[in-house]
Amino acid sequence: MKSVKDYIRTIVDFPHEGIMFRDVTTLFADPRGFRMAIDQMLHPYAGMRIDKVVGLEARGFILGGAIAHQLTVGFVPIRKKGKLPGAVISEAYTLEYGEAVMEIHDDAIQPGEQILVVDDLLATGGTAAAGIKLIERLGGEIVSTSFIIDLPELGGRKVLEDMGMNVSVLCEFEGE
């Protein structure tokens, strides 16, 4: 029987030479693979109170929407700077080649709401950490973070765990 990892293709030297890009679009395109991933991402939270699912741009939107639908809860996007139309709060974070900024609508989460944060891949943890900070600034309480892929060599899991986060992943790939 196939695992989620079997549906993910690797593209060599994308977006730069030396990078092994883990492409989840092949997983999303396969109905069995996509359902398997969503079901496995949901499983640890059966019976838990979750008020909203937050998806990190951009593949986290695909996962987050499907998971929110299954849980019958709201979905909130965290986007790159300048992409949301309403009043937002922002959080800058460091990338290997500079800085980026993530934003969330300032009314997207109410204090005390239980939040599940989802994305496709956990690398250095910078994007997820910025998203967590935004949610916490709005008073949301993070139940867990959930990813399809962890790249353990890049240390993102430790970054999130050091922030007090529970981290759930479906598979790991060695290397970048």
Interval 17-49: pLDDT, tens: 989 999 999 999 999 999 999 999 999 999 999
* Active site annotation includes 141: no
User: Is the predicted pLDDT of residue 175 greater than 70, yes or no?
Assistant: no
Q: Which of 22, 32, 96, 103 is catalytic?
A: 96
**What is the C-alpha separation between 8 and 2, in angstroms, rounded?**
11
CATH code, 47-172: 3.40.50.2020
Q: What is the pTM of this model?
A: 0.96
Q: Which of 59, 91, 103, 157 is catalytic?
A: 59
Residue whose C-alpha is closest to residue 27's, from 148, 132, 112, 116: 148
Digit-coded pLDDT (tens) for 110-141: 999 999 999 999 999 999 999 999 999 999 99
**What is the C-alpha separation between 11 and 23, in angstroms, rounded?**
7
User: Is the predicted pLDDT of residue 96 greater than 80, yes or no?
Assistant: no
Average pLDDT for the chain: 96
User: DSSP states of 16-35 as a string?
Assistant: STT-EEEETHHHHHSHHHHH
Q: What is the mean pLDDT of residues 150-174?
A: 97
* Active site annotation includes 96: yes
Buried b (16+ CB within 10 A) or exposed e, 85-109: eeebeebebeeeeeeeebbbbeebb
Residue 98's pLDDT band (cuts 50, 70, 90): confident
Output the six-digit token pair for 116. 């599940």
